[in-house]
């Protein structure tokens, strides 16, 4: 028997992992998976479009193409068919950034397939964050780590480009390396941070810190309240 809620909420028909369901309109794919009893133990995390754990593949009526989206941000529509993106293993590449002296020059030492791009556009087409992954990989290959890293900023490390790449290049890990390498070795040092670190080393805040440590819990709490007000 239908409850009053069932009668009020419009429903849409969707296909999840090959089975059809009626679910409330306007909910996300992750909500639909949960509502229909699918266990999501690994394929979900932040629910805010940040962690990249909930990547899914979906089709819509009348379009032969597969789309890739974040399940927690993709609102389902009538006739949509979707399933969670297959889970991926860990990257096979390892490097210790503290030992990298010349990030661009050492790219191929750490990613031995970084120059194997066949320009198939697969990584760019599949990226749910609409990053021009192929172009960023090309820039990284030319040593332009700053530009490549900037393009990579919206990445949520969902791994779709990694799974898609026919050359097993692991584009997302190459671009993460470019970003890390740029920040660690190539970017100008942050002057304000350096100044503060120097002043801390020289003891500028030592007395203030001592007086804070000497405060009772009650006085410390009062001071915090004062600071908030
Ligand atoms: S660059 Fe790759 S890992 Fe990052 S969001 Fe796009 S597809 Fe996902
Ligand atoms: S999927 Fe791999 S081979 Fe294809 S364009 Fe992207 S990096 Fe190049
Ligand atoms: S659950 Fe984190 S991006 Fe969707």
Q: Specify the pTM.
A: 0.77
- 111 and 180 belong to one structural domain: yes
Residue 91 maps to a domain: no
Supply the CATH number for residue 60's domain: 3.10.20.30
d(CA 73, CA 70): 5
Pocket test for ligand 1, best of 151, 155, 173 (most atoms within 8 A of CB): 155
The answer to whether residue 92 is domain-embedded is no
Residues in the chain, overall count: 229
The verdict on 114 and 62 lying in the same domain is no
- Domain span at residue 203 reads 194-224
pLDDT exceeds 90 at position 22: yes
User: Quick check: 82 and 14 in contact, CB under 8 A?
Assistant: yes
At 153 the pLDDT is 94
Give 55's strand partners: 70
- 218 and 140: one domain? no
DSSP-derived secondary structure for 17-82: TTEEEEEETT-BHHHHHHHTT---SSS-S-SSSSS-TTEEEEE-TT--S-EEEETTT-B--TT-EE
- Residue 152 CA: which ligand 1 atom is closest? 1
- Whether residue 166 is found in the same domain as residue 127: yes
> Does 105 lie in the same domain as 162?
yes
Domain identity same for 21 and 52: yes
Question: Residue 159 belongs to a domain with what CATH number?
Answer: 1.10.1060.10
**Residues 144 and 201 both lie in one domain:** no
In a domain, 22, yes or no: yes
Residue 43 within a domain: yes
182, 200: one domain: no
For CA atoms 149, 154, 158, 164, the dihedral sign is negative
Place of tokens 């009650």: 218
Could you tell me if residue 25 is inside a domain? yes
- Decide: 170 in ligand 2 pocket, CB within 6 A: no
Instruction: Give per-residue pLDDT as tens, 126-161.
Output: 999 999 999 999 999 999 999 999 999 999 999 999
Would you say residue 115 lies in a domain?
A: yes
pLDDT tens digits along 46-81? 999 998 889 999 999 998 888 999 999 999 999 999
Task: Flag whether 214 is in a domain.
Answer: yes
Query: Nearest CA to 16 among 83, 87, 77, 63?
Result: 83
Report the separation in Å between the CA atom of 149 and the middle of ligand 3, taken as the mean of its atom positions. 22
pLDDT band at residue 115 under the 50/70/90 scheme: very high
Same domain, 181 and 218: no
Average pLDDT, integer, range 193-197: 92
Q: Which of 168, 156, 62, 158 is nearest to 120 (CA)?
A: 168
110 and 66 in a common domain: no
Q: How many domains does the chain have?
A: 3
pLDDT for position 89 = 63
For the Cβ of 134 lying below 6 angstroms from any atom of ligand 2, the answer is: yes
**What is the distance in A from the centroid of ligand 3 to the CA of 156?**
9
**pLDDT of 185 above 80:** yes
Dist. CA 149–CA 127, nearest whole Å: 16
Same domain, residue pair 21 and 80 = yes
Q: Is residue 77 in some structural domain?
A: yes
pLDDT of residue 88: 65
pLDDT of residue 2: 57
């Amino acid at each position: 028997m239908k409850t009053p809620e069932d009668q009020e909420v419009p429903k849409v028909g969707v296909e999840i992992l090959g089975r059809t369901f009626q679910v409330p309109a306007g909910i996300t794919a992750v909500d639909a998976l949960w509502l229909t009893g699918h266990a999501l133990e690994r394929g979900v995390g932040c629910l805010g479009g940040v962690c990249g754990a909930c990547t899914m593949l979906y089709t819509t009526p009348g379009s032969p193409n597969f789309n890739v989206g974040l399940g927690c941000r993709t609102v389902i529509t009538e006739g949509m068919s979707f399933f969670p993106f297959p889970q991926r293993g860990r990257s096979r590449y390892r490097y210790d950034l503290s030992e990298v002296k010349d990030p661009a020059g050492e790219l191929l030492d750490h990613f031995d397939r970084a120059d194997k791009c066949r320009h198939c556009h697969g990584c760019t087409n599949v990226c749910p964050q609409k990053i021009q992954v192929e172009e960023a990989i090309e820039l990284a290959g030319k040593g332009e780590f700053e530009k490549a890293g900037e393009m990579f900023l919206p990445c949520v490390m969902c791994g779709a480009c990694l799974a898609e790449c026919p050359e097993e290049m692991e584009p997302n890990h190459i671009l993460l390396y470019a970003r890390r390498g740029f920040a660690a070795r190539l970017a100008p040092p942050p002057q304000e941070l350096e100044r503060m670190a120097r002043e801390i080393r020289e003891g500028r805040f030592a007395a203030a810190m001592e007086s804070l440590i000497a405060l009772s819990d009650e006085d410390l709490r009062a001071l915090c309240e004062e600071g908030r007000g």
